[in-house]
Amino acid sequence: MAKLSVVVITKNEADNIRACLESVAWADEIVVVDSGSSDDTVNICKVLGAQVHTTTDWPGFGLQKNRALLHATGEWVLSLDADERVTPELRLEVEAAIKDPHGHTAFRLPRLSSFCGRYMRHSGWHPDYVTRLFHRGDARFSDDLVHERLIVDGPVGKLSQSLLHETFQDLDELLTKINQYSTAGSQMLSEKGKTATLKKAVSHAIWAFFRTYILRAGFLDGREGFMLAVSTAESTYYRYAKLMLLNKR
- State the pLDDT at residue 1: 75
- State the pLDDT at residue 242: 98
Considering the domain architecture, whether residues 161 and 175 belong to the same structural domain is answered as no
Q: Are the C-beta atoms of 224 and 177 separated by less than 8 Å?
A: no
Considering the domain architecture, whether residues 15 and 136 belong to the same structural domain is answered as yes
Considering the domain architecture, whether residues 142 and 19 belong to the same structural domain is answered as yes
R_g over Cα of the chain: 19
Q: Are the C-beta atoms of 232 and 239 separated by less than 8 Å?
A: no
Residue 100 has pLDDT above 90, yes or no: yes
**pTM assigned to the model:** 0.89
Mean pLDDT, all residues of the chain: 96
CA distance 240 to 249: 14
Task: Write the pLDDT tens digit of every residue in 174-205.
Answer: 999 999 999 999 999 999 999 999 999 999 99
Instruction: Give the domain-ending residue among 150, 167, 184.
Output: 167
Task: Write the pLDDT tens digit of every residue in 114-129.
Answer: 999 999 999 999 999 9
Q: Where are the beta strands (DSSP E) in the chain?
A: 4-10, 29-34, 51-54, 76-80, 84-86, 106-109, 111-115, 118-119, 130-135, 139-141, 150-152, 156-158, 163-167
- State the pLDDT at residue 145: 87
CA distance 79 to 136: 11
Domain span at residue 54 reads: 4-167
What percentage of the chain exceeds 90 in pLDDT?
95
168 — pLDDT class (breaks 50, 70, 90):
confident
Task: Write the pLDDT tens digit of every residue in 129-167.
Answer: 999 999 999 999 999 888 899 999 999 999 999 999 999
Q: Considering its fold, how many domains does the chain have in total?
A: 2
Considering the domain architecture, whether residues 113 and 198 belong to the same structural domain is answered as no
